[in-house]
A and B are shown apart, each in its own frame.
Chain A
Amino acid sequence: RKEVEQDPGPFNVPEGATVAFNCTYSNSASQSFFWYRQDCRKEPKLLMSVYSSGNEDGRFTAQLNRASQYISLLIRDSKLSDSATYLCAVSGNNAGNMLTFGGGTRLMVKP
Chain B
Amino acid sequence: NAGVTQTPKFRVLKTGQSMTLLCAQDMNHEYMYWYRQDPGMGLRLIHYSVGEGTTAKGEVPDGYNVSRLKKQNFLLGLESAAPSQTSVYFCASSYNSRTDPLPYGYTFGSGTRLTVV
Contacts and interface: CB of A to CB of B under 8 A. Distances in A.
A107 B90 CA distance: 22
A32 B48 contact: no
A42 B110 contact: yes
A98 B90 contact: no
A97 interface: yes
Interface in A69-111: 87, 89, 91, 95-104
Interface residues on A, range: 20 to 34
Interface residues of B, number: 26
Contacts of B106: 44, 46, 89, 99
Interface string B34-68: 01000011111100101000001010000000000
B33 interface: yes
B16 to A, nearest CB: 28
Contact of A98 (B33, B104, B109, B110): B33
Interface in A20-65: 31-32, 34, 36, 42-46, 49, 51
B42 A87 contact: yes
Contacts of B48: 96, 98
Interface of A: 31-32, 34, 36, 42-46, 49, 51, 87, 89, 91, 95-104
Interface of B: 31, 33, 35, 40-45, 48, 50, 56, 58, 90, 94, 96, 102-111
Given A43-B90, A46-B105, A97-B103, 20 more contacts: A31-B103, A42-B110, A42-B111, A44-B106, A44-B108, A49-B104, A49-B105, A87-B42, A89-B105, A95-B50, A96-B56, A97-B31, A97-B104, A98-B33, A98-B48, A99-B45, A101-B43, A101-B44, A103-B40, A103-B42
